[in-house]
Amino acid sequence: MITLEETEFPNIIRIDVDGKVTKEDAEKSRTFINEHYGDDKTLSALVYIKDFGGVGPVGMAKGTVMDISHWNQYRKFAVITDSAWQEGGAKLVDLLPGIEVEQFDRAQVDQAYAWLKD
């Protein structure tokens, strides 16, 4: 399941991932982006992974977490999770040309937002 919300920072959204991610979650993401940002605003996302229960970074890149029609709007992903996810995150970077991806530990949320704002 994913939860999306606007943040206090313009054009930065927060996406919480907790458990298995479904096609319905991708639809929820598409609807959220359409309603809040349209089709042309550049976005960055803080992706806070509490528990990945069924989707890995490759599935995320193929549109399971977020509708793929909005990929061209994204500039940066700050991924908050355990350090063990770094290897999968590197694969994600290879699949998303033009999008910067950095992994941060759970204690580094403020640093992640600072990186997204740059």
pLDDT at 14: 96
Distance CA 106, CA 49 (A): 9
> What does the pLDDT look like over 48-85, one tens digit per residue?
988 766 555 544 544 544 556 667 788 998 989 876 55
Query: What is the average pLDDT across 77-96?
Result: 64
What pLDDT sits at residue 9? 94
Q: What is the pLDDT of residue 62?
A: 47
Average pLDDT of the residues of the chain: 79
Q: What angle do CA 111, 7, 91 make, to 5 degrees?
A: 55
Q: 52 versus 42: which is more confidently predicted?
A: 42
Return the pLDDT at 43.
Answer: 93
How open is the CA angle 104-70-24, to the nearest 5 degrees?
85
